[in-house]
Amino acid sequence: MLEQLTGHEDPHPIYERLRAHGPLTTDGGMWVTTSHALAGRILRDRRFGVRPADGAFAGGASLLPESFLELDPPDHTRLRRLATPAFSPRKIAEYRARVERVADALLASAGDEFDLIGDFAAPLPISVISDLLGIPDEDTAEFADYGALVAASFDSGVTPEMANANDKVLALFDRLISQRRRTPGDDVISSLVAAEAEQRLTPREMLGTLVLLLVAGFETTVNLIGNGTRALLDHPAQWRLFLDNQDLAPAVVEETLRWASPVQLTSRIAHEPVDGIGAGEWVTLLIGAANRDPEVYPEPHEFDVLRVHKPEHLAFSSGMHYCLGATLARMEGDVALRALARHVPGLRQAGAATFRDSVVIRGMRSFPVSRS
């Protein structure tokens, strides 16, 4: 059934047909789960990993340097630890005022009609992650285009366009790394250059970590802002409720992450037999389906910003691969939604949305809106 998925249509009817076969079923020769409880257990179970026991990565052809997202312990633990300080609660709190200024400026410069994605949802996190990594303003557009191509490659694999962008961005990172070796700053590139000098990671591992942080630093947030805004406008009573009480912003963020998860699926491989799953067999975890599991969430297909999220949704994964930038994404989503409510309370859709060509990443390419 999964081969019927597209990035343009609602995937949940297919998820529900799979759910009817029970918490664990097979599809196209691979194990699949729609269960929140089972997906959560697998994500936390150290008997499952992201690559085969022999170390070969089975994720398909890629030009990207390996990142810790594609590694199991101990390498995953070592590399993630090096990147963690940049995403500490203290650092995120320091960034909030900057995110608010960027959001206000973007909406102030937008016309009466604008593209919510291209004019707001994308530039906001791109500006923030570029600042955090230490990417100069003149390079941010190049990195943003690259990030979109990387996300597309999750489904389509490496294309000539992707290969060309990859070469350019790795060259840009090489240039920035060389600059930080000469003149360190207060940014992630500088901290990783220092770790490399202490032989705590290799040059290729540093590139892989930077590429991961760049892409993950804005892909999830672009789609969180876009999906959340569209959900609110499609549910006018929820939009009015939010306009009357903008302190509901964190609740809107959480319900968006559950109801329209930016990342729809991930996979794990069993390193030993586990509950009928054989060693070396892959399991596809349908995060989008798990986040609408009726055994966890009453009326799961309803978008309800007052919903109590217990247990937590799986939009940021769980276990050792829990999203490193989750706190940053939540803060940016909170700030973005408040800014929209404050600046454009009459916001409405002004044209047909276009969607990403991806079944892994759920989001829009464009979303025309107007101020009234």
**pLDDT band for position 60 (cuts 50, 70, 90):** very low
Q: How far apart are CA 311 and CA 363, in angstroms?
A: 24
Mean predicted lDDT score pLDDT of the chain: 88
Q: Contacts from 190-197 at CB under 8 Å and sequence distance 24+?
A: 190/134, 191/82, 191/85, 191/86, 192/82, 192/83, 195/82
User: What values do phi and psi take at 55, rounded to 5?
Assistant: 90, -10
Cα dihedral: 174, 320, 308, 253 (round 10): 0
Tell me the per-residue pLDDT of 175-186, one tens digit each, with 9 for 90 and over.
Answer: 999 999 999 988
Does residue 189 lie within any of the structural domains?
yes
Range of the domain at 119: 2-51+68-370
Q: Token pair 């937008």 is at which residue?
A: 110
Greater confidence (288 vs 186) lies with: 288
Domain membership flag for residue 247? yes
**Residue 318 and residue 323: Cα distance in Å, rounded?**
8
Distance CA 130, CA 123 (A): 10
Q: Would you state the pLDDT for residue 54?
A: 64
In-domain check, residue 246: yes
Q: The domain spanning residue 140 has which CATH number?
A: 1.10.630.10
pLDDT for residue 151: 60
221 in any annotated domain: yes
* Domain presence at residue 63: no
Look at residue 62 and tell me if it is in a domain: no
Summarised one tens digit per residue, pLDDT across range 191-236 is 899 999 998 888 888 888 888 787 777 878 999 999 999 999 999 9
Share of the chain above pLDDT 70, in %: 91
353 residue type, one letter: A
pLDDT of residue 156: 57
Q: 352 is written with which tokens?
A: 């047909």
Q: Is residue 181 included in any domain, yes or no?
A: yes
Query: Are the beta carbons of 194 and 184 closer than 8 angstroms?
Result: yes
Residue 57 has pLDDT above 60, yes or no: no
Residue 86 predicted with pLDDT over 50? yes
- Number of domains, the chain: 1
pLDDT band at 34 (very low <50, low <70, confident <90, very high): very high
> Strand, coil or helix: what is 362?
coil
The token pair at 5 is 């998925």
Residue 61 lies in a domain: no
